[in-house]
Structure 1
């Protein structure tokens, strides 16, 4: 259990508590599900400026329990799991299968600046040292720092496409490989990739967007009472951070326990074969390219089931995650805007034999779509 959950530390910078964040349920759910199952593939958060994207992601990283890492290892290698070790430590562990000297550390939340170079992101090899001393001199980059943590890219839609490719490849494979002048070094790079952006400043290409597991939309809160609550909470936190953090400690401890329990329960969650067929039927009807949509929806539904402490996926679990997993995979034209999720909900309701809710019917009318029609 982390030091965050036991007592707020005064020695480090205070972070706004995750459980104190009002609204933005879609973003919070997508982030939690990715933390429970990092193989979902990350989250793309698109929405207005000033809606608390960075605050929420920092709050989630602070909420997570501390992890065991090998002492003085730049890659935060796991002390006893070979799959989460650098090649050098893995070799050492396989020759002598004893847990390596370890310590605990907070889950890293790494910010990737827009102007970052590929060397800064991936790391560099000191060729001169390698040739003169015969050792692989590697200077780790941001991907090494983010291993077993969260890598956050604000305004990812403004990032160079080549760098986005590098990030997505590492996130998908769990490894980062740096090659230069015939020297090759690789290290584990398993992280939850979180990108955010404002649609007004440009969209990601559909091919890149499809590589993100989930897509959360956030909007500025319109309800005056909620806006006042958010403003007052922020003022209370800024005035006395330790007291505010202390106030939310019981909820933080409970939320952290829920995440840990869900991570342990995930492997035993089952989904009925008929439900899996229907998910694929929805993806097929929506003309989703490839199988990523099917895979991510299956994983997200299981992660949600585990988050709520259950072992059997229900239709409602699928309903709550399917738009998050598929809405960004429907675009074929880069100039087309992303569907708010109504199209996904409509096909889901038809395939699963459910009636659209009154809210969805209103949305259908507003979009000029006849509810229940194709």
Structure 2
């Protein structure tokens, strides 16, 4: 006799709600701004073990609204944006073929520490290519991460070459695989989030500079807050559905806020005088290159959009500039990253503000 067990109503694993996370405001802000404008260039999160880094990033991916993707496409191609489309989809559209689309949750791809370059970038099956005359491509993690979030835990322990490959793809928005004269490329535009523990070593300054923002997180010291966090976790583990329902309204409101900010972002203006002052701060702090200026400009616009405004204020710049510059001040790999004091001091001088304690 065969017994049929009904399928559970909820087939997707419940994720801790983003709006329920207590504290760690710096990390949460950096992640939200990168989701609003992925061109900021990702976030490096450094902090103590057990401070909820992975939980927060998974919660953010779960919070984001579903996106339209081309059905059956391994690269999560956008049916509207040619920059986020695979060559195969573009070809079909150029030939006037109709393409089916589906709604899909934003992907969060975990990069394992032992991953090889082939696993990350994808591989070309040379034998099949030569025998059948087709470009036989096995997509890697970068294909899966297109239009999503790529999370690398313990990024400071990852091979420098692999970090370079990831950051190149994140910056350019494309991944190219070449082997034996065969070349294949596909869109790979994602928010790269790296995390690590400073005790296990820092990234080289050249690689650290490639991350748009750098957030520091610390273990909560206040006993009341610690108790609240422990109780929340226990409640969630005991009954994820009931716990999550309490935050449904807040989750929906934040999701709507993110969508509106993404739509508003192209309209946000940053005055020329403020742009000059940002560059003056970067110059005064001896920041190499122009990446610091560019990222600060983008982040200031993103925070204005998040709050529903089309004009960037001095306060917007003050709130994001430490996150954008603190990791760019380190010239020597043996130096520790500035806590933000040097940046805040320079901001206070250039904008004529009082230095916050």
TM-score bracket relative to the smaller structure: over 0.9
Runs of 4 or more above 4 Å deviation: none
Contact 1:10 1:242 (C-alpha < 8 Å) held by counterparts: no
SS at match of 2:69: strand
- The separation in 2 between residues aligned to 1:247 and 1:34, in whole angstroms, is 27
Matches within 5 A, 1:260-339: 260-339=259-338
Aligned residue-pair number: 349
Question: Residue 372 of structure 1 aligns with which residue?
Answer: none
Q: Is 1:210 the counterpart of 2:209 in the alignment?
A: yes
- The separation in 2 between residues aligned to 1:228 and 1:246, in whole angstroms, is 21
- The separation in 1 between residues aligned to 2:171 and 2:316, in whole angstroms, is 25
Q: Is 1:31 the counterpart of 2:31 in the alignment?
A: yes
- The separation in 2 between residues aligned to 1:149 and 1:328, in whole angstroms, is 24
Matches within 5 A, 1:113-152: 113-152=112-151
| Cα deviation, residue 282, structure 1 | 0.1
- The separation in 1 between residues aligned to 2:95 and 2:329, in whole angstroms, is 49
TM-score, L = length of structure 2: 0.97
Matches within 5 A, 1:94-113: 94-96=94-96, 100-113=99-112
- Is 74-83 or 267-276 further displaced after alignment? 74-83
SS at match of 2:215: strand
- The separation in 2 between residues aligned to 1:157 and 1:38, in whole angstroms, is 22
Question: Residue 80 of structure 2 aligns with which residue?
Answer: 80
Contact 1:82 1:93 (C-alpha < 8 Å) held by counterparts: no
| Cα deviation, residue 314, structure 1 | 0.2
| Cα deviation, residue 99, structure 1 | 6.2
- The separation in 2 between residues aligned to 1:100 and 1:48, in whole angstroms, is 47
RMSD: 0.8
Query: Structure 1, residues 37-82: CA drift from partner, whole Å, max 9, x if none?
Result: 0000000000000000000000000000000000000000011221
Question: Residue 257 of structure 2 aligns with which residue?
Answer: 258
Question: Residue 234 of structure 1 aligns with which residue?
Answer: 233
Query: Structure 1, residues 203-227: CA drift from partner, whole Å, max 9, x if none?
Result: 0000000000000000000001000
Contact 1:80 1:100 (C-alpha < 8 Å) held by counterparts: no
Query: Structure 1, residues 301-358: CA drift from partner, whole Å, max 9, x if none?
Result: 000000000110000000000000000000000000000000000001101111213x
Query: Structure 1, residues 172-211: CA drift from partner, whole Å, max 9, x if none?
Result: 0000000000000000000000000000001000000000
| Cα deviation, residue 89, structure 1 | 1.2
User: Any unmatched runs of 5+ in structure 1?
Assistant: 1-8, 360-374
TM-score, L = length of structure 1: 0.92
User: Any unmatched runs of 5+ in structure 2?
Assistant: 1-8
